[in-house]
Structure 1
C-alpha cells in the first residue's frame, strides 16, 4: 500500500469551461483512436469553440481491437479506426486535416529505449516544433495500459529536447477503471483539477459514438474483440474531465 493518499478525482477543484481558452493552441497525443474523445473530448470541443488550433498526433495503428477478424483484416481495421477518429474530430469541431499518424504497432508501442521508439521520439519532437503549440494533452504517465505508458514516455523524451517545452496536461482513460494505488497520481508530482464540460457534453458523447467499431458489433466475426463497456463509458458521461498538471 502507498504511504500517501492518492488523489480523489471527483473532489478536485473545478475550473469553469472558459478556462479552456487560456490554454492556447494545443496538441493532443492519442495512443488509440477513441482516447481523444474519452479522455479530453470536452476540452477539445471547448478549444474549437474558442477558435484555437488543435493538432492531433495518433500514436498507434489501432489494429488490435479485433485481431481475429477476417471481414476486417489488419489494413482494413487500421483504415476504419482512422476514419472513425477523423469523424470524431469533426464532431468536436476540429480540423481533421491537422491529424498526423505514426502508425506504431497497437498493443506494443515501443518505449524510447528501443530503436523504433527513438525514431518516434524524433518524429514527435519535429511535430511539436512545427505545431508551436502552447499546451500538450497526453495520457497520464501511469495510465494502466502499456501503450498509454509508452506514449507518455515517448512524449516526455521528446519534450526533454525542446528548449521551451509547452505546458503538459495529462488526461485519464483507463485510470478510472483499472488503476492500482501505485498507478494513481501523488499529490507531490502533479496538480489535479477538473474542467466543467457541461456546455459541450452532448458534443463529446457524439464524438465517442463516432467510434462505432469500439461500441457496437460492427466487426462481428471476432467474439473476443474489444468493446467499451457501459461501466467504462459512464466515467466519460460525467459533466467534467480531469487533468493532471505537471509541476
Structure 2
C-alpha cells in the first residue's frame, strides 16, 4: 500500500469496472476444502459486524453444509458507523449490530455465537498489541484464520490484520487476508494489491444466494440515514460485490 492512506469514497470504483476486468477470472481457483481442509477450524476475525460476511460469507455457507468447525470473532460492536446520527446513535448500534450479525450468520447456516471482544470501534490501531494477545489466546495451530487485508484502507481493518498476523505467527496458524474496502479505492490491475498471490474461491448458487441474503440482515448499514442525509454505509456497489459468485483471498 502507498504511504498515503487510500481514501474510501462513496463514489469509488464501480463494481462494473471490476466485473469487466479479465484479471479476476485469471486468478488461481481454490475450493473451500482446499482452503480449510478436514480437521481444521475456520476462524473469521471481523473488525466490525458485517465484515465476516463481506469477507467470506460464501465460504462460510459452503463450510457450514459439512462438518467444518467455524468460529467468528467480533472485534468491535460497530457502534461508530453513523457519526452524529439521531436514528443510529452508538447505544443503539451497540445493541443492533451484533443482532444483525447473528441473523446474517443464520442465513449462512453457521451455528453458534460469535466470540465478542468488545474493543472500541475506530480505536483498534492503538489497541492492536492487546488485540493480538487476545486473539492468540483463542487461536490454535491447526486453525485457518481469515481477516481483513492489512492494506485495506480502513484503520480498523488494517489494525485487525496486523494483530492477526502477530497472533497467527505466535500460534503457528495459517492466515488469509481478504480485501473489503480496497475494492472501493483500488482500480482493476492496481499494483498496490498482491494479485500474483491472490486466490479465487468459486461459490455455488446456494452459497451465493445465502451470502446475498446475509448482507440484507445488516439493516443499519444498507439504509440511508434520514437524520443526517448520509447514504447507506454499504452502497449499491458494495452490495453488488457481495453478490459475486466468487471470493478473492490473499494468503
> TM-score scaled by structure 1?
0.83
**Residues 113-164 of structure 1: CA deviation (Å, up to 9, x unaligned):** x4x33222211111114xx6521111112112111111101111222322xx
The alignment status of 1:208 with 2:208, answered yes or no, reads: no
| Corresponding residue SS for 2:138 | helix
| Corresponding residue SS for 2:59 | helix
Which of the numbers 167, 190, 200 marks the counterpart of 1:194?
A: 200
| Cα contact 2:215–2:242 (8 A) shared by 1 | no
The match for 1:140 is: 149
Q: Which runs of no fewer than 5 residues in structure 1 stay unpaired?
A: none
The separation in 1 between residues aligned to 2:66 and 2:117, in whole angstroms, is 28
The separation in 2 between residues aligned to 1:50 and 1:20, in whole angstroms, is 14
Q: Which shows bigger deviation, 202-211 or 61-70?
A: 61-70
The match for 2:248 is: 242
Which of the numbers 36, 44, 69 marks the counterpart of 1:28?
A: 44
The match for 2:134 is: 123
Deviation, 1:66, is: 1.0
The separation in 1 between residues aligned to 2:67 and 2:58, in whole angstroms, is 15
**Residues 206-230 of structure 1: CA deviation (Å, up to 9, x unaligned):** 111111111124x532323642111
1:141-180 paired onto structure 2 within 5 Å: 141-162=150-171, 165-179=172-186
| Cα contact 2:168–2:175 (8 A) shared by 1 | no
1:42-61 paired onto structure 2 within 5 Å: 42-61=58-77
Q: Which shows bigger deviation, 73-82 or 220-229?
A: 220-229
Q: Which shows bigger deviation, 152-161 or 18-27?
A: 18-27
Deviation, 1:29, is: 0.8
Q: Which runs of no fewer than 5 residues in structure 2 stay unpaired?
A: 3-21
* Shift in alpha-carbon separation, 1:37–1:186, aligned structure 2, 3 A: closer
Deviation, 1:16, is: 4.2
Q: How many residues align?
A: 228
RMSD (Å) for aligned C-alpha atoms: 2.4
| Cα contact 2:64–2:108 (8 A) shared by 1 | yes
The separation in 1 between residues aligned to 2:118 and 2:228, in whole angstroms, is 22
The separation in 2 between residues aligned to 1:171 and 1:65, in whole angstroms, is 20
| Cα contact 1:33–1:58 (8 A) shared by 2 | yes
The separation in 1 between residues aligned to 2:168 and 2:73, in whole angstroms, is 15
The separation in 2 between residues aligned to 1:203 and 1:186, in whole angstroms, is 27
The match for 1:104 is: 119
